[in-house]
């Protein structure tokens, strides 16, 4: 659920911001970009053709520009790939917090954090060890 929401929001943001035309515009004049441009345009045209077929089935997307949808999807995938090391840990933490929250709903006493539970176990074990010594 978190991943789908994040993917949709980055796609929408890329569609609105158009990073390849705004943020990356200075890089368009480099030699590497000029060499890669013909292949990129050919690939983009083929992908946009497939997107145009798919958008005819979705009423909300019929008026959208298929090439811009394709390009914004590629930009959002690139962005998410770049920040994956950060978002992976964040999604794990959010998932854990969600699980803890769902277990506390309906209970009068909320669950302790994992570190508090481990501390309590350690204290009980230490107390047992001191009593037997």
- Provide the mean pLDDT of the chain: 80
Q: Is the distance from CB of 23 to CB of 17 less than 8 angstroms?
A: yes
Looking up tokens 């993917």 gives 7
Q: Say yes or no to pLDDT of 133 above 60.
A: no
More confident residue, 58 or 13: 13
Instruction: Give the start-to-end residue ranges of the domains of the chain.
Output: 2-82
* Assigned token pair, 91: 């999604």
Query: In 3D, which of 91, 68, 101, 121 has the Cα closest to residue 1?
Result: 91
Confidence of residue 119 (pLDDT cuts 50, 70, 90): low
- pLDDT tops 70 at residue 37: yes
Give yes or no for residue 109 having a pLDDT over 60. Answer: no
Global pTM exceeds 0.85: no
At residue 9, the pLDDT reads 93
Residue whose pair of structure tokens reads 């302790």 in the numeric block? 112
How far apart, in whole angstroms, are the C-alpha atoms of residue 54 and residue 104? 43
- Separation of first and last alpha carbons in the chain: 51
The residue with tokens 């690939």 is: 43
What's the pLDDT score for residue 39? 81
Count CB neighbours of 74 within 10 A. 17
């Amino acid at each position: 659920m978190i991943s789908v929401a994040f993917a949709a929001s980055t796609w929408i943001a890329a569609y609105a911001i158009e990073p390849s035309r705004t943020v990356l515009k200075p890089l368009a004049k480099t030699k590497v970009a000029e060499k890669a441009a013909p292949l990129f345009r050919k690939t983009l045209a083929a992908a946009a053709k497939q997107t145009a077929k798919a958008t005819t089935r979705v009423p909300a997307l019929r008026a959208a520009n298929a090439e811009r949808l394709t390009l914004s999807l590629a930009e959002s995938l690139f962005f998410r790939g770049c920040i994956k090391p950060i978002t992976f840990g964040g999604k794990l933490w959010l998932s854990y917090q969600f699980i803890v929250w769902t277990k506390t709903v309906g209970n009068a006493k909320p669950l302790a954090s994992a570190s508090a539970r481990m501390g309590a176990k350690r204290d009980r074990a230490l107390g047992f060890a001191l009593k037997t010594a």
